C-alpha cells in the first residue's frame, strides 16, 4: 500500500497471495511475490519493482524463493532468505542446519548471484542476522552467533558482484546497528560505565577510513541506533538522543516515560514509538476523544 | 490477647500450642518426604532435567567421565590428543584400540590411537564429494560412523546423502547412494529410493551400525526411515509400526534385535532387524518431552550384562535403559547451563552429546558435539546401588534388563 505523506486514501501498489520484503528508494518500491507453483512444482518468487507515482510494475528477476528482507542502493538490490533446518530438532547434524542466503542483482534486473551463505556447517547454534544496507557496492549485515563460549556479534560485508565475506567490525555485546551512506554505527557495551550489562555506548565508523569513534555513552542496554540524513540518533528507553562525534554534544531531544508500552498522552497530543524497517521513530498525533478516555483510564 | 489469657486455662493453652506444633511438624515431614521421593525417582535431582517417564538418579551416577581428545574451542588440528581440535564431532566408533570420529564440521574422519589424533579421510575447509585416499577424499558433514567385521569403516556422509567406506588400505569410495537433484546453491537435496546400492537414494543419513555379517543399518533421518544394506546387496527399508521422525542412531544386539533413537520426538524404537520396529514403552509411559536421543550404544557395566546407553542432546545427559525405564547416569542437564566438566557422573557436564560407541572393558566413548570433545565414560563401577531403598523410604524398581548382547558400533 502507499499513502501520500500529507495524508489521504491509501492505494494498493502490489497485490499477491504472499508479498515479502520491502525496500524504498528514489520513488520506487521493491518487493518479492511468491509464485505458489511453478512448472517444476517447486515454489518460486518474483522480484518486482513498482513505481510509487505510476504504479507500473516490472519483474526484475525470477527467484527460487521469496525474500525475507530487501535492501537497495543506486546500483544494486540485495536480499536475504533464511531456510529452515532440514532436520528440525536435530542440532548435531551440521549438514541439516539452517542457512541464510544473501543474493544480489543489478538494480535494473538480471540474474541474481549468491554472495554469501551463512550458517550450515559453520556453527553448532546460530543467532540471527539482519541486512543493514548497501554501500560502496557491498552488502553489509549484522550477525549474531550463539557459541558455547557466548554470543558473538559482528558486522560483515560481501561485494554485490561476488567475492569473499569480510568482517568489518567485531561487536560482541552489541544489540543493533545502522548504515546510511558511508556511515556505520552500532551499539556496544559501555566502557565508561564499567557495567557492560547495564549501559551501552554507540560507536561510529566511516567506511574507507580507519578508526572507530564512540559517539554516545551511558545509554540503556537496549538502545537502538538510527541514522537519518547523515546524523546519528539513539532511542534509549523513552528518550530520543542526538549523537555526535563530539561527546559533549550528545543531546536528549525527547524524554518520555521509560519503556513506553502504550501510546501516552502529553498535553493535547499522544506520543508513541513506532517500529520502522530500520530503527524506531517517535510519532505524535492530536488526541482523539477515545485516546483521552483511554489515557485517563491508564493513568 | 488480655481477654484470651484471662479466659483460657493455662493447661488448655499449652495443649493448643502443642497441637499447633504437632500439625506444623506433620506438614513439614510430609512435604520433606514428598520432595525426597520426587528427587529420588520422580523427575529431577539437583536441578537437572530429565525426560518424562525417565527415572531420576539415586546411586547410579557411579561412572567416571574423562576427556580423551580435543579442546572446547572448535578447530582442526591433528597431533597429541590434548592439543587436537575438532569441530562438531558427531559420532564415534571403536575398533581394537582405535576410536574413529566423524568430525562433521571439519568434513573429516579422524582416528584417535595411542594418544595421537590423525585424519584418515577428508579434512577440507569446505564440504565436497570425491573419492581418493586420506585428505584427497572429500566428505560433507559426516555424522555417522561404524566399523565392519573386516575392518572396513563405513561413514554416513550426511551432506552428500551417501554411505561412504574406507577400506583397510585407506581408499575412500562410495558404498551406497546415487546422485540426487540439487538446489539453487548446488547442494544435493537427497532422495528416497530402495534398490541396488549404487542406485539407491538417501536423505541426510546419520546413524550407522554394522552386524557380524557386514550388513549395514542406516538411520536415514531425512527420509524418516531405517535402511538395511546387506553386503554387496540391495538397499531396503525396515518396516515400522508407526512413523519415525528423524532417526539419529542405530544399535544392534547379539540376539538379532535393533534399537533406533528418534529425535526430536524423543522416541526409542526396537524390533527384529528385519522389522517391524515398534515404539519402546517404558513402564507404560512414552519417553517424550525434552528427550532428544542422539546416540545409543550397548555396553556392559559393573552390574553385568550389556545394556543400552542413550546420549540425550536435549538435556545434555547420558541415560541407561533398565528394562522398563531410563535412568540418568551422567550429566547435569539443562541446555543453558551445561558445559564441559570431567569427573563422576554427578558432576560431569556435556553439551549436545551425540554419538556413543561401546568399547571393551566396560567403557563407552562419546562424541560431545557441542564441546568439540571426545569423552570416555568408564562404567566399571556401576551397579553397586542398583538394589535397595531410595532416600526417603520409597522403593525404586530396578530390574536388570535381559541380555541383549553388544552391538559393534553405533553412530
Q: What percent of chain B has pLDDT over 90?
A: 57
Say how many CB pairs under 8 Å bridge A and B: 92
Do A159 and A141 contact (CB within 8 A), yes or no?
Answer: no
Residues on chain A bordering chain B, Cβ-to-Cβ distance under 8 angstroms:
64, 86-96, 99, 101, 114, 117, 121-122, 124-125, 148-149
CB nearest to A86's CB, from B222, B292, B352: B222
Cβ contacts of B221 on chain A, cutoff 8 Å:
87, 90, 93, 96
| Residue (of A39, A103, A40, A95) closest to A66 by Cα position | A103
Map grid coordinates 554469501 to a residue: A116
* pLDDT tier at A147, thresholds 50, 70, 90: low
Q: Flag whether the ipTM exceeds 0.90.
A: no
CB nearest to A148's CB, from B72, B107, B265: B72
| Residue (of B92, B311, B125, B295) closest to A121 by Cα position | B125
Interface test with B, best of A80, A95, A151 (most B CBs within 10 A): A95
Cβ contacts of B140 on chain A, cutoff 8 Å:
95
Residue B354: what pLDDT?
95
* Shortest CA distance from B159: residue in chain A: A95
* Shortest CA distance from A147: residue in chain B: B370
For residue A220, the SS3 value is strand
In 3-state terms chain B splits into helix, strand, coil percentages (rounded to 5) of: 10, 40, 45
Residue A148: what pLDDT?
60
Report CA torsion sign: B300, A89, B221, A128.
Answer: negative
CB nearest to A124's CB, from B107, B204, B352: B352
User: What is the spatial distance between Cα A237 and Cα A214, in angstroms, rounded to a whole number?
Assistant: 20
Q: Which residues contact B337 (CB under 8 A, 6 or more apart)?
A: none
Cβ contacts of B88 on chain A, cutoff 8 Å:
92, 94, 121, 124
* Shortest CA distance from A122: residue in chain B: B105
Please tell me which residue, A17 or B4, carries the higher pLDDT value.
A17
| Residue (of A190, A262, A195) closest to A223 by Cα position | A190
Do B373 and B355 contact (CB within 8 A), yes or no?
Answer: no
User: What is the spatial distance between Cα A83 and Cα A19, in angstroms, rounded to a whole number?
Assistant: 17
Residue B232: what pLDDT?
80
Q: How far is A287 from chain B (nearest CA, A)?
A: 46
CB nearest to B264's CB, from A90, A122, A124: A90
Please tell me which residue, A278 or B107, carries the higher pLDDT value.
B107
Cβ contacts of B129 on chain A, cutoff 8 Å:
none
Interface test with A, best of B125, B222, B336, B373 (most A CBs within 10 A): B222
CB contact under 8 A, B222 and A124: no
**What confidence tens digit (pLDDT) does each residue in A148-190 have?**
667 788 999 999 998 889 999 988 888 889 999 999 999 998 8
Residue A106: what pLDDT?
95
Q: How far is B114 from chain A (nearest CA, A)?
A: 27
Residue A120: what pLDDT?
60
Cβ contacts of B158 on chain A, cutoff 8 Å:
93-96
- The residues pairing with B85 across neighbouring beta strands, listed in sequence order, are B77
Question: Which triple of cell numbers denotes residue B252?
Answer: 544392534
CB contact under 8 A, B221 and A114: no
Residue A28: what pLDDT?
92
Sheet with A99-106: strands ordered across = A69-72, A76-83, A99-106, A113-119
**What confidence tens digit (pLDDT) does each residue in B26-77 have?**
666 554 444 443 333 333 222 233 444 454 444 456 899 999 999 998 899 9
Question: Which triple of cell numbers denotes residue A172?
Answer: 560482541
Cβ contacts of B291 on chain A, cutoff 8 Å:
none
Q: What is the DSSP string of B116-135?
A: EEEEEEE--SS---B-EEBT
CB nearest to B143's CB, from A64, A92, A125: A92
SS (H, E, C) B267-327: EEEEEECCCCEEECCECCECCCCCCCEEEEEEEEECCEEEEEEEEECCCCEEEEEECCEEE
**What confidence tens digit (pLDDT) does each residue in A119-143 have?**
765 444 356 789 999 999 999 999 8
**What confidence tens digit (pLDDT) does each residue in A219-275 have?**
888 888 999 888 899 988 778 889 987 877 888 887 765 444 456 677 777 776 665
Is the pLDDT reported for residue B405 higher than 50? no
Amino acid at each position: 500500500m502507499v499513502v501520500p505523506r500529507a495524508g489521504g486514501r491509501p492505494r494498493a501498489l502490489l497485490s499477491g497471495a504472499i508479498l515479502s520484503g520491502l525496500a524504498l528508494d528514489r520513488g520506487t518500491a521493491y518487493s518479492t511475490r511468491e509464485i505458489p507453483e511453478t512448472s517444476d512444482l517447486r515454489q518460486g518468487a518474483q522480484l518486482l519493482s513498482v513505481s510509487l507515482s505510476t504504479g507500473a510494475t516490472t519483474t526484475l528477476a525470477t527467484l527460487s524463493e521469496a525474500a525475507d528482507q530487501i535492501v537497495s542502493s543506486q546500483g544494486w538490490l540485495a536480499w536475504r532468505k533464511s531456510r529452515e533446518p532440514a532436520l528440525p530438532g536435530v542440532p548435531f547434524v551440521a549438514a541439516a542446519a539452517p542457512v541464510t542466503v544473501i543474493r544480489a542483482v543489478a538494480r535494473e534486473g538480471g540474474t541474481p548471484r549468491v554472495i554469501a551463505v551463512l550458517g550450515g556447517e559453520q556453527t553448532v547454534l546460530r543467532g540471527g542476522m539482519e541486512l543493514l544496507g548497501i554501500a560502496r557496492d557491498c552488502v553489509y549485515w549484522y550477525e549474531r552467533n550463539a557459541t558455547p563460549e557466548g554470543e558473538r556479534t559482528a558486522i560483515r560485508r560481501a561485494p554485490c558482484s561476488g567475492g569473499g565475506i569480510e568482517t568489518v567490525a567485531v561487536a560482541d555485546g552489541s544489540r543493533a546497528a545502522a548504515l546510511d551512506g558511508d556511515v556505520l554505527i552500532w551499539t556496544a557495551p559501555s566502557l565508561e560505565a564499567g557495567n557492560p550489562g547495564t549501559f551501552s555506548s554507540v560507536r561510529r565508523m566511516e567506511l574507507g577510513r580507519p578508526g572507530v569513534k564512540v559517539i554516545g555513552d551511558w545509554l540503556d542496554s537496549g538502545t537502538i541506533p538510527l541514522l537519518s540524513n547523515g546524523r546519528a540518533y539513539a532511542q534509549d528507553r523513552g528518550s530520543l538522543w542526538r549523537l555526535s562525534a563530539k561527546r559533549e554534544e550528545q543531546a536528549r531531544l525527547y524524554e518520555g516515560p521509560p519503556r513506553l508500552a502504550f501510546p501516552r498522552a502529553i498535553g493535547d497530543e499522544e506520543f508513541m514509538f513506532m517500529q520502522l524497517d530500520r530503527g524506531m521513530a517517535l510519532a505524535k498525533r492530536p488526541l482523539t476523544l477515545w485516546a483521552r478516555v483511554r489515557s485517563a483510564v491508564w493513568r | 490477647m488480655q481477654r484470651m489469657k484471662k479466659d483460657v486455662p493455662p493447661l488448655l493453652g499449652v495443649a493448643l500450642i502443642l497441637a499447633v506444633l504437632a500439625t506444623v511438624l506433620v506438614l513439614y515431614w510430609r512435604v520433606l518426604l514428598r520432595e525426597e521421593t520426587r528427587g529420588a525417582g520422580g523427575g529431577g535431582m539437583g536441578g537437572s532435567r530429565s525426560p518424562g517417564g525417565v527415572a531420576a538418579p539415586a546411586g547410579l551416577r557411579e561412572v567416571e567421565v574423562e576427556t580423551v581428545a580435543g579442546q572446547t574451542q572448535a578447530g582442526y588440528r591433528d597431533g597429541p590428543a590434548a592439543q587436537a581440535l575438532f569441530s562438531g564431532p558427531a559420532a564415534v566408533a571403536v575398533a581394537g584400540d582405535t576410536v574413529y570420529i566423524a568430525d562433521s564440521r571439519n568434513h573429516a574422519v579422524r582416528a584417535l590411537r595411542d594418544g595421537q589424533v590423525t585424519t584418515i579421510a577428508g579434512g577440507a575447509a569446505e564440504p565436497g564429494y570425491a573419492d581418493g585416499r586420506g585428505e584427497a577424499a572429500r566428505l560433507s558433514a559426516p555424522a555417522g560412523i561404524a566399523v565392519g567385521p573386516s575392518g572396513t569403516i563405513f561413514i554416513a556422509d550426511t551432506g552428500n546423502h551417501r554411505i561412504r567406506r574406507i577400506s583397510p588400505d585407506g581408499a575412500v569410495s562410495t558404498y551406497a547412494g546415487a546422485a540426487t537433484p540439487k538446489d539453487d546453491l548446488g547442494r544435493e537435496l537427497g532422495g528416497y529410493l530402495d534398490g541396488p546400492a549404487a542406485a539407491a537414494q538417501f536423505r541426510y543419513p546419520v546413524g550407522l551400525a554394522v552386524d557380524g555379517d557386514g550388513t549395514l543399518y542406516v538411520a536415514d533421518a531425512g527420509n524418516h526411515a531405517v535402511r538395511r544394506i546387506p553386503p554387496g546387496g540391495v538397499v531396503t527399508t525396515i518396516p515400522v509400526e508407526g512413523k519415525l521422525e528423524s532417526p539419529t542412531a542405530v544399535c544392534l544386539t547379539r540376539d538379532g534385535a535393533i534399537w533406533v533413537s528418534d529425535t526430536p520426538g524423543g522416541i526409542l524404537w526396537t524390533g527384529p532387524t528385519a522389522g517391524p520396529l515398534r515404539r519402546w514403552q517404558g513402564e507404560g509411559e512414552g519417553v517424550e518431552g525434552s528427550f532428544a536421543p542422539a546416540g545409543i550404544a550397548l555396553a556392559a557395566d559393573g552390574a553385568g550384562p550389556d545394556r543400552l546407553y542413550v546420549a540425550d542432546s536435549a538435556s545434555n545427559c547420558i541415560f541407561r535403559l533398565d528394562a522398563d525405564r531410563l535412568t540418568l547416569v551422567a550429566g547435569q542437564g539443562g541446555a543453558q547451563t551445561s558445559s564441559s566438566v570431567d569427573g563422576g557422573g554427578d558432576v560431569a557436564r556435556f553439551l549436545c552429546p551425540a554419538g556413543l560407541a561401546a568399547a571393551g572393558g566396560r567403557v563407552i566413548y562419546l562424541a560431545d558435539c557441542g564441546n568439540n570433545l571426545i569423552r570416555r565414560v568408564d562404567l566399571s563401577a556401576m551397579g553397586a546401588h542398583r538394589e535397595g531403598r531410595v532416600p526417603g523410604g520409597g522403593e525404586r524398581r530396578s530390574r536388570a534388563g535381559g541380555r541383549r548382547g553388544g552391538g559393534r558400533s553405533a553412530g
